[in-house]
Structure 1
Amino acid sequence: MTQEIHGTVADGFEEVREEFAAFVAGERPDYEGQLCAYVHGRKVVDLWAGPEVTAGSLYGVFSSTKGAAYLVVALLVQDGVLDPDRRVAEYWPEFGAEGKGELTLRDLLAHRSGLIGLDAGFTEEELADDRVIAERLVGQRPFWRPGAAFGYHALTAGALSGEVVRRATGRTLQELYEERVRAPYGLDFHLGLPESEEPRFRPVQPMAPTPEQQAVLDGTPAGPHTLASIAFNTHVPWAGELVDHANSRLVRAKGPASAGGVASARGLAGMYAAAISEVDGRPPLLKPDTLALAGQLHSVGHDLVARVHRAFGFGFQATGQVWYPFLGAGAFGHSGAGGSQAFADPRSGLAYGYTRRRCAFPGGAAPENEAFVRAVHRAAL
């Protein structure tokens, strides 16, 4: 039985609804997902599907959370509170241990610090608390000479950035995000989900690969002490499943800035719309120079952790370089391990958000985003 598609699209965006409906028709009967997009601050796509999903359902968005963290850092750079080229140790003196004294904030956000994890690993309780993560990383020797290369800091990037924010302002990154971004726009994108909102949360479901996909996963080389296993904290005997992180109430309550956010597609797209466009009479959060910084390429080439070609801006993924080359230069955002995707393309005025409940194969931004993004971008132009 084909699932019903709920929601609306603006005139000219009918192709997006068609692409979404075609994808849902080919999925499992229990598929749940949401798709939202803005163009120049106007909502033009607002769709959802699933047996119990609504537009207000909330999902664990894993590393799409990092986009909110980097937006806060960008705002503080715009305010003159943070300087991208100042050494991290000038904000956070203890950080300079183990040869990290010369690393700049710019390099930290570009995944160049080498602090991808701990030799001894983190407990699940520690991964819920950015302060604890930061404290434990101070004494860790980097896994490469800081600044010499880059690799994805999957579980540490938000905590490291957040500690710089706390040292510079006396406030947590989560507090500043709530005050300056989420609350003013009423965004359903939370770094710390209130207990009162828990009924709207839909627990993340694990990936359900086909036999062919499982064969690919089984053939993927992995080792207990690789950079990837350390970065994703899977080198420890107590490592749980990916979904355990998002499905932990402790993680949702604390909202760790690397991968602990909870959002709807409306929330993801709305945040990026607010970053680049006038929304409801409010000017864009980011001024032109800050927008240019966010999307400017900082680390491009071989990612030592992911072991593939990657590109990062000022913390954000360079979305056009990493995922969708038809986007304009300077597009920036962040995807999540469960399949979520969120970004802004300042040149077309597009802000995009996608969530799904079941983790997508093979991980990261779900493959269906390719067709959705292409359709909405074509309509936006």
Structure 2
Amino acid sequence: MSQDVHGTVAEGFEGVREEFAAFLAEETYAPGAQLAAYVNGRQVVDLWAGEGVEGSSLTTLFSISKGAAHLVVALLVQDGVLDLDRTVASYWPEFAAEGKDRLTLRELLEHKAGVVGVDGGFSAEELADDRLIATRLAGQKPLWEPGTAYGYHGWVIGALTGEVVRRVTGRSIHELYEERVRAPYGLDFHLGLPEELEPRWREVQPLVPTPAQAEALAARAAEPDSIRGVAFNLNAPEPVDMVAFANTRLVRALGPTSSGGVGNARGVAGMYAAAISTLDGRPPLLAPGTVAEFAGLRTPGTDLATGQTDHFGLGFEYLAGRYPFLGPDAFGHSGATGSLGFADPASGVAYAYTRRRFAFPSGEGASPENGRLAESVLRAAATV
């Protein structure tokens, strides 16, 4: 189904527009997509397509939110406010319960805490509120010995790191992100969407799975008390409908840092551009040493929750293994609809792709088209 592509690309990036248009013409097209990219702080791609979608349209970005949350953590480490090798419990004493007393902040950021969820699961209302998540997790018994293995803390990692930030600074990640990152650059990427911006928001849409996909999803749901089941909140009396969750005003208003940020491709790409490049006359937010600390592979082996391998840096996903055309210090995060944002210091590229419809398997990272789209951006960047 052919779709009109709107927006602009800089000279030399025409191939990116062609690749975007080619994807949109395929049957796998997800209605409502945006693509944006910067190179060394200069925006070179700003494209969108889909009925009712503009370049300024906002949508719920799920786990892309983790990138914003952990950019704040990286800044606090860079400032000397947080120490990666101090225990979480030294900042947050209640977290020491049930054998979690020796877990360091570094290990927490590597998804090694073992508290991927709680006994009995969370309600949708709890998952919308980072403080409620943190309160319940503090006393939770881990599913493995903390620090000895890793598994994606998909619904909860932002609440865990956020509580550490709150105990040290007296402020939330949301407040610090707004003050230090979003507002100075005017980014359309929010942890907590103001009411006045609601008219620009566009709902996330479901995608009906194929019979094979539906069978696989049912098999997962049949093991609600497994590590995977707890991590994806399948052990709750009423497992959360991720589409309904994203389309709830409470979630958009509170902006849970693991799952509820709202924005567009322009905003996400702009955030990653600000992290590594001079942007709007401001120096990069992150020093090269901080990037080196947080990027790169920190979790070799298999993720106990997702089954993926070589999954994380510190807080951010390790991307060079999935996308060999990226440098080893590329860092970013995907979202459950298949969206992706990242920075690649080696090339100076900051990239973001957002989509309004779920991919399958949902909740497990960037959709396949990101490979071809991101590679087209890197290929163009290398020639200009």
TM-score by length of 1: 0.96
Letter in 2 for 1:378: R
Aligned to 2:378: 377
In structure 2, the partner of 1:347 is: 346
What is the CA-CA distance between 1:216 and the residue it aligns to?
A: 5.5
CA distance in 1, matches of 2:334, 2:78: 24
Are the equivalent residues in 1 in contact too, given 2:221–2:229 (CA < 8 A)? no
State the SS of the aligned residue for 1:299: coil
Q: Matched residue of 1:198: which SS?
A: helix
* Closer/same/farther in 2, CA of residues 203 and 90 from structure 1, 3 Å limit: same
The verdict on how the C-alpha distance between 1:54 and 1:100 changes in structure 2, with shifts beyond 3 A counting, is same
SS of aligned partner of 2:286: coil
Structure 2 Cα separation of the partners of residues 159 and 10 of structure 1? 39
Specify whether residues 216 and 22 from structure 1 end up closer, same or farther in structure 2 by C-alpha distance, changes over 3 A only. Answer: farther
Q: Could you say which residue in structure 2 is the equivalent of 1:368? A: 369
Where do residues 276-315 of structure 1 align in structure 2 (5 Å cutoff)?
276-315=276-315
In 1, the alpha carbon distance for the partners of 2:29 and 2:319 equals: 30
**Letter of the aligned partner of 2:373 in structure 1?**
F
Question: What amino acid does structure 1 have at the position aligned with 2:367?
Answer: A
Determine helix, strand or coil for the equivalent of 1:334. strand
One-letter code of the match for 1:70?
Answer: H
Contact kept in structure 1, 2:30 and 2:356, CA below 8 Å = no
- 2:114–2:142 Cα contact (<8 Å) kept: yes
The secondary structure found in structure 2 opposite 1:48 is strand
CA contact (8 A) 2:23 2:29 kept: no
The match for 2:247 is 247
> 2:74 corresponds to which residue?
74
Report the Cα offset of residue 311 of structure 1: 2.2
Note the 1:176-195 alignment, pairs <5 A. 176-195=176-195
How far residue 221 of structure 1 moved from its aligned partner, in angstroms, is 7.9
Q: How far apart in 2 are the matches of 1:19 and 1:154? A: 31
TM-score (norm 2): 0.96
Change (3 A) 1:359 1:76: same
* Partner in structure 1 of residue 262 of structure 2: 262
Question: 1:208, CA displacement in angstroms?
Answer: 2.7
Question: What is the identity, as a one-letter code, of the residue corresponding to 1:274?
Answer: A
1:9-50 residue CA offsets vs partner (Å, 9 max, x unmatched): 111111111110011112478711000000100001110001
2: CA distance between counterparts of 1:135 and 1:241? 23
2:54 corresponds to: 54
CA distance in 1, matches of 2:324, 2:142: 32
Tell me the amino acid that sits aligned with residue 337 of structure 1: A
How far is the alpha carbon of 1:215 from its aligned partner?
5.6
Gaps of 5+ in 2: none
Task: Say whether the 8 Å CA contact 1:190–1:261 is kept in structure 2.
Answer: yes
Change in 2 beyond 3 A, CA 1:215/1:22: farther
Measured in 2, the distance between the counterparts of 1:67 and 1:215 equals 32
Alignment of 1:1-381 (within 5 A): 2-27=2-27, 31-211=31-211, 213-214=213-214, 217=217, 222-321=222-321, 323-363=322-362, 364-381=365-382
Aligned residues: 380
> 1:219 offset after TM fit, Å?
6.4
Residue 240 of structure 1 and its aligned partner are, at CA, apart by 2.9
Task: Determine if contact 2:30/2:355 at 8 Å carries over to the other structure.
Answer: no
Q: Which moved more, 1:216-225 or 1:176-185?
A: 216-225
User: What secondary structure sits across from 2:334 in the alignment?
Assistant: coil
Residues in 1 aligned to 2:121 and 2:198: alpha-carbon distance in whole angstroms? 29
Contact conserved, 2:162 with 2:172, CA < 8 A, in 1? yes
Deviation at residue 361 of structure 1 after TM alignment: 2.1
Instruction: Give SS of 1:180's match.
Output: helix
- Residues 32 and 50, structure 2, Cα contact 8 Å, conserved in 1: yes
Contact between 1:38 and 1:269, CA under 8 Å: does it hold in 2? Answer: yes
Asked if the contact 1:3/1:29 (under 8 Å) is kept, the reply is no
Contact 1:189/1:264, CA 8 A, preserved across alignment? yes
Equivalent residues of 2:86, 2:105 under 8 A apart: yes
Measured at CA, do residues 259 and 347 of structure 1 come closer, stay the same or move farther in structure 2, by a change above 3 Å?
Answer: same
User: CA contact under 8 A between 1:85 and 1:105: conserved in structure 2?
Assistant: yes
Alpha carbons of structure 1 residues 216 and 116: separation in structure 2 relative to 1, 3 Å: closer
Q: How far off is 1:297 after superposition?
A: 2.2
Deviations 1:160-212 (A, max 9, x none): 00000000100001000000000000001000000101111111111233456
Sequence identity (%): 62
State the distance in 1 between where 2:46 and 2:70 align.
Answer: 25
The separation in 1 between residues aligned to 2:136 and 2:277, in whole angstroms, is 39
